[in-house]
Amino acid sequence: MLVSAKDMLEKAREGKYAVGQFNINNLEWTKSVLLTAEELKSPVILGVSEGAGKYMTGFKTVAAMVRAMMEELNITVPVALHLDHGTYDGCYKCIKAGFSSIMFDGSHYPIEENIEKTKELVKVAHAMGLSLEAEVGSIGGEEDGVVGLGECADPQECKAIADLGIDFLAAGIGNIHGKYPENWPGLRFDVLEQVKAAVGDMPLVLHGGTGIPEDMIKKAVSLGVAKINVNTECQLSFAAATREYIEAGKDLKGKGFDPRKLLAPGADAIRATVKEKMELFGSVGKAKE
């Protein structure tokens, strides 16, 4: 069922596990994530960046594809279709297109403007039954043209945004989109603790899930992180498996060039990555409870 992410994340926060947001790029990605969630009986969030939405020809196409795919694959676990790092205009487009959740990333605005726009969007999203994620303190690195400097969130600003009635909050704690550099000092758990103390029971979101060591993931979950975003890691798995297939010359044998064969190792690799993450995040079997 396509649902708002509110309930699944409240349950995750209470149960001390996290639900994975896996960003999708095309049909293979979507199918791989949905099938794995169903197999593992895990709730799941499909993330769509504005760039990926455009690549898939628009948010309406994405929403129609996801709904139809869930019906035809008999997906029974809770699935949220969520805009990732949405602009103000992008949020309205996704609300109209039939998404079930949106992220408004106002972190690059002055805090007053972030508050004003978030407040408006919370009202609109909730009236339509969607959940809303807001961001304070930008996530480092680059994702689909969205560049963040990676500054840590100010706990008081987090409280001001949380008090607007948002459903979950992304707070920068030294996390970075894409691969982490060798000299990355790690997550700032001191900041996470301060944010948690300021916002109380609000589910927190950890962006930049690719490459964060297991012990840091577990500690973050124990401190209130209930949603973890993964994008790059699925892209790397897909690319590596596709490279292996081609370098082994498999596309040149028989009908190995058939896209259903050519893209299969990559799709299987995404499934393996999603499975590994769901096990680490602790969401396996939670759709049954």
Residues designated as active site: 84
Q: Least Å distance between CB 23 and ligand 13P?
A: 6
User: CA–CA distance from 16 to each of 177, 258, 261, 286 (Å)?
Assistant: 24, 44, 39, 11
Question: Pairing between strand 19-23 and 225-230?
Answer: parallel
Does 233 contact ligand 13P by CB under 6 A?
A: yes
Binder to ligand 13P among 2, 226, 230, 287 (CB under 6 A)?
Answer: 230
Interacting residue with ligand 13P among 210, 237, 242, 273 (CB under 6 A): 210
Does 51 participate in binding ligand 13P (rule CB under 6 A)?
A: no
Per CB under 6 A, which region of 9-17, 214-222, 226-234, 242-250 contacts ligand 13P?
A: 226-234
List all residues 6 or more positions away from 47 whose beta carbon is below 8 Å from its beta carbon.
21, 22, 23, 24, 82, 84, 229, 231
Q: Calculate helix-pair angle for 155-162, 111-127, nearest 10 degrees.
A: 30
Between 138 and 242, CB nearer to ligand 13P: 138
Q: Which of 130, 132, 197, 135 is nearest to 165 (CA)?
A: 132
For the record, the structure tokens of 31 come out as: 């199918």
Q: Select 118 or 245, whichever has its Cβ closest to ligand 13P.
A: 118
Contacts 24+ apart (CB under 8 A), 255-264: 263/28
Instruction: Decide if residue 107 touches ligand 13P (CB under 6 A).
Output: no
Contact call for residue 143 and ligand 13P (CB under 6 A): yes
Closer CB to ligand 13P, residue 177 or residue 271? 177
- On whether the CB atoms of residues 287 and 42 are closer than 8 A, the answer is yes
Candidates 38-46, 61-69, 207-215, 249-257; binding stretch for ligand 13P (CB under 6 A): 207-215
Residue 82 as a binder of ligand 13P (CB under 6 A): the answer is no
Site for ligand 13P in 1-40 (CB under 6 A): 23
From 36, 229, 242, 283, residue interacting with ligand 13P (rule: CB under 6 A)? 229
Using rule CB under 6 A, residue 232 touches ligand 13P = yes
Q: Which residue from 11, 82, 207, 286 is in contact with ligand 13P, where contact means CB under 6 A?
A: 207
Q: Which long-range contacts (CB under 8 A, 24 or more apart) does 87-91 make?
A: 87/50, 88/117, 88/121, 90/50, 90/53, 91/121, 91/125
If one asks whether residue 273 binds ligand 13P (CB under 6 A), the answer comes out as: no
Q: Cβ of 7: how many Cβ atoms within 10 Å?
A: 14
How many residues sit in the footprint of ligand 13P (CB under 6 A)? 16
The least distance separating ligand 13P from the CB of residue 11, rounded to whole angstroms, comes to 21
Neighbours of 57 (CB within 10 A): 10
- For 104, residues 6+ apart whose C-beta sits below 8 A from its C-beta are 86, 88, 91, 117, 118, 121, 132, 133, 134, 135
Which residues, numbered 160-199, are part of the site for ligand 13P (CB under 6 A)?
177-178
User: By the criterion CB under 6 A, which residues form the site for ligand 13P?
Assistant: 23, 47, 84-85, 143, 177-178, 207-210, 229-233
